[in-house]
Amino acid sequence: MTNQNRIEFAKTAPKAFRAQRSLEAAAGEGLDPVLGELVRIRASQLNGCAYCLHMHTNDARKAGEDENRLHMVGVWREATNFFTERELAALELTEAVTLISDRGVPDEVYARAAEQFEPEELGSLLALILSINTWNRIALATGKIAGTDERTA
């Protein structure tokens, strides 16, 4: 099936699309916007979603993120000096939740995140991770092409 033959999710499942947009609007509430973009970027990298990766890398730049740090998101474990402890905990949790079928969310990963985030923030972070994973799956399943129609602001 080519991209031209895929459905446009927003038009064919408008209620589900609106619900997902509502989750996205609530997700990450109270978190630093740059941290949110780092999480979205890492999940999109892991899921192989070029569409979302392109969008959120651009959004991160617009939010003031440093280009050097953007280059390090995919190798954050080897580039810990580029990130704060809070960001490292968020990236680690993002990986665990995104790759949940590999080994679940290990207690030590959850504990590191819980040390860095208040309970309400941790809830927002989890919602953000869940939301971007859903967006990645929507974009991949419907054949979205990076650089075509993603938002620019």
Q: Considering the domain boundaries, does residue 11 fall inside one?
A: no
Give the residues of the chain that fall short of pLDDT 50.
1-2, 152-153
Q: What is the pLDDT of residues 88-98, one digit of tens each?
A: 999 999 999 99
DSSP E strand stretches across the chain: none
Q: Considering the domain boundaries, does residue 149 fall inside one?
A: no
Q: Considering the domain boundaries, does residue 1 fall inside one?
A: no
Q: What is the pLDDT of residues 29-51, one digit of tens each?
A: 899 999 999 999 999 999 999 99
Number of domains in the chain: 1
Query: What predicted TM-score, i.e. pTM, was given to this entire model?
Result: 0.93
CATH number at residue 120: 1.20.1290.10
User: 43: domain range?
Assistant: 19-141
Q: Considering the domain boundaries, does residue 52 fall inside one?
A: yes
Residues 6+ apart with CB under 8 A from 102: none
Q: Considering the domain boundaries, does residue 122 fall inside one?
A: yes
